[in-house]
Structure formats: C-alpha cells, structure tokens
Structure 1
C-alpha cells in the first residue's frame, strides 16, 4: 500500500512540482490549497503518474479547516506519512509602510499554517512510527529588503523545524527544511511587477549573481524535498538545505 503525502499550497509553483514528484516517487498525494478547484491541474499531474490524487480546499491558518482537511485525507487516501508545508503568501513592503494586516497575514499562513498542519498530521505519523515533515523556508530568512514579515516567518520556520526534529525523532519522524533562492514561479513574477522590473530582466539579473549562473525551477526544489521524504533520509533531521545555486550561509 502506497504511503500518503500532503502538500500544501500545491495548486501551482513549487507545491505543484512537489506533488508531481512525490507521486512519481510512489506516494498518493493530497493536493491542498485555499481554492479546491484550483488544485485540479495538479491532481491530474499526480494521476498521470499512476498514483491517486485528492484535491482538498482549506485555509491552513484556520485550525478547524486544517483538522477537517487532514481527517478527510486520512479517510479518503489513507493516514498521511509525509507533510510538505509549502503554502505561502507575500505582502512585501518596507517596514514604515507595512500594515498590521501585511504582517499578520504572512505570519498566519507561513508559521501558524505549518504549526497547525504539523500538529494535525503528526498524530498519524506517530502511530505509524514513520513520518517526514518538510517545511519550506527561503533564502529570505537571511534578510531581504522589503520582506520583514516574510523573512521573519521563514527564519521562524527554521527554528520550528529544528525543534520538531528534536521532539518527534523518537517516533521515527524526521523534520527538515528546504530554503529556496530565486525560483521561477508566479510569486517571483509578482515580485518583479511590484518593483517595476520585467520578469525576464529580473531573472537575467538574478542569474548573474548565482554561482551556477541560472535561476531555479520548481523541479529543483521538488528534487530536494523528494530526498528528505525518502526512506534513505531517515538519519537526516533538523537540517536546512538552501536550494539556491550557491552557498548562502
């Protein structure tokens, strides 16, 4: 029987690529996003690999919605053994222009969302004595102009990751984080628009600063997540890998 993975924020971008990759690795995948209908394309990509896919609509910052979503996954696909906390939003602004809502929204989706999803999923993982939780941090955790909220949330996820690794290790559960650098997604396209630069121009400029001389693709991140989710990664826990084309910290 196939193991079950949940990927949040999986309607597009890194989440969608991760869902497809985990399906190719042999997992049945619950594709979770705010809008259930938006998950259809990713579910189709999952089922094309021969695995089962399930679209689940839920706000990861809502505890009732999260509990209902994880229960539904367990009932329809099976008990989850892999959780990828990928759901995220941007509300970029310089500190003096950042609203309370800009701060709270980013914290709620990234940090509270990862907390609620991990808490709900670990119940099943501890029973199975096997689990993988993979949190999406970011190179912005090291600091990035205009992203005080996002940087704080992504740095917070690294501390969250290390603490869960300590608490859950004895149950056969590893917890790790992936911190992408510049990845071509709708989110980075939105950043280009915000700063008034063409997306192609932004990519070309970013590539010049990256040692491997290219920007990242969602598949680059999905590949690293695939490693963390694997059977063979059972002795790797509490780690943060920067998937950024070069050393960052």
Structure 2
C-alpha cells in the first residue's frame, strides 16, 4: 500500500525541518517545498525548489504535484519576517510577507481541496505565531499571522462537512538556527526573554512537530478551527504576573 504523501512548505530548516523529520518517522512520505534544499535529504523525502513568494511559481509547483499524487495532508509552514517600526514599513515589505505568509498557504490549500473532498478526508495545519497578539516591530508580520488565524477558522467551517480539519499552531520563541543566531544563550536579551516566559525557557522545534503529528493523526478528526499556542504560557501572561 502506498504511503500517504504530506506536503510541508519551508521544510529545509528550523521548525519546518523538525516537522519533516517527525512526519517521516510517523510513516508519511514528505514533499518539501522550499527555496533551498536541506543540508541532508532523508529517506522518504522529496525536495522541490519553489519560490513561494511568487504566486505563479506556487501555482505551477502544486499543479505539477497534484497531477502525480493524491495529497490530503498539508502543513503551511513557510514564512518570513522583516522587523520594522510602523513609520519604517514599506509597501515592498507588505507585498513580500503577504505573498509568502498568506497568499501561498491559500493557493496551496485551494489546489488540494478537490482531492480532499473526493477522499472525504484531509488535514491542513497552518503555522502562525504568538506575534499575532502583537509585538513591537512586527506590524506586517503580526498582521499576516493574524490573517492566518482568520483563514484557519473560515476554512475549518467551509471544509468540515467533507471530513477536512484545519488548525493553526502559534509558536512563541523557538530555538531554531535563526533564533539562536540572533539570541545567543548567554546574552542579556536571551536571559530577559526566558525570564518573561512562564516555563522559563524557549521551545524546541520538535515540540511544534509533535503537535503537528497529533493533529495529522486520523484521531485528530474532531479538532478543527483551533489556534493552539506553543509558547511556554507567554500568550497567557508574563512570568510572575
């Protein structure tokens, strides 16, 4: 019997890489849509170089693959952030982040809906961010991640009758390569950040991947339209408050 194929965007590093590794361990074949390949390919993984910031490239890639394989498992993980104070935000930044953080997930999900409806089954997981609740310097990023929340809830309502679940995971600070490069463990900034988190630490990419695995499972079929924060409690409040 052919293994199920899961499409993961941005699966070459960070949270996306942990998701790819976990889904492979769970028995999926994984199709990784990213601009750059992972440092090391894994058995069961197929890499496709796709500029998801380009709507045309995104459409072409998904049309090619949905013609080859049934895909009813999708993780919209790819995203970007450019930090800027409100007065410094540019239209170009808006275009880039909207295209990658919002439009690409919509185009990919749209393309896979026919297969999900035909199968009466599907799993869509959107990776959002705790920054959707507001964060300094994240005008556009927080807006796009808040948009992911709205789309998740709307899609869940539209697709529930077909056995398709749609959920969002909103990570807080996660120890990815990019995070660690910008936040060295011994820096005062990192110490302040950890002190603010009720759990007293930053998260690990594999903790996000674990929740993806749970929501992907067939027994996840009664959970839909939810936004689940994986942030050590920071979305609830600051440590000590």
Which of 52, 56, 62 aligns to 1:64? It is 56
* Native 8 Å contact 2:77 2:126 kept in 1: yes
* Native 8 Å contact 1:90 1:187 kept in 2: no
State how far apart, in whole Å, the 1-side matches of 2:5 and 2:177 are: 27
Q: Note the alpha carbon deviations across 1:124-152, whole angstroms, 9 max, x for none.
A: 22222111000011000000000000000
In the other structure, the counterpart of 1:39 is 38
* Native 8 Å contact 1:66 1:117 kept in 2: yes
In the other structure, the counterpart of 1:19 is 20
State how far apart, in whole Å, the 2-side matches of 1:57 and 1:200 are: 36
**What is the deviation of 1:64?**
2.9
Aligned pairs, number: 234
In the other structure, the counterpart of 1:73 is 65
State how far apart, in whole Å, the 1-side matches of 2:215 and 2:164 are: 11
State how far apart, in whole Å, the 2-side matches of 1:209 and 1:163 are: 33
More helix, by proportion: 1
**Unpaired segments of 5 or more residues in structure 2?**
237-241
Alignment of 1:4 with 2:9, yes or no, is: no
In the other structure, the counterpart of 1:120 is 111
State how far apart, in whole Å, the 1-side matches of 2:94 and 2:185 are: 25
Q: Which moved more, 1:2-11 or 1:95-104?
A: 95-104
Structure 1 residues 40 and 31, CA gap change in structure 2 (3 angstroms) = farther
**What is the deviation of 1:228?**
1.0
Give the TM-score taking structure 1 as reference length: 0.88
Two-structure CA RMSD over aligned residues (Å):
1.7
**What is the deviation of 1:79?**
1.0
Alignment of 1:161 with 2:127, yes or no, is: no
Give the TM-score taking structure 2 as reference length: 0.91
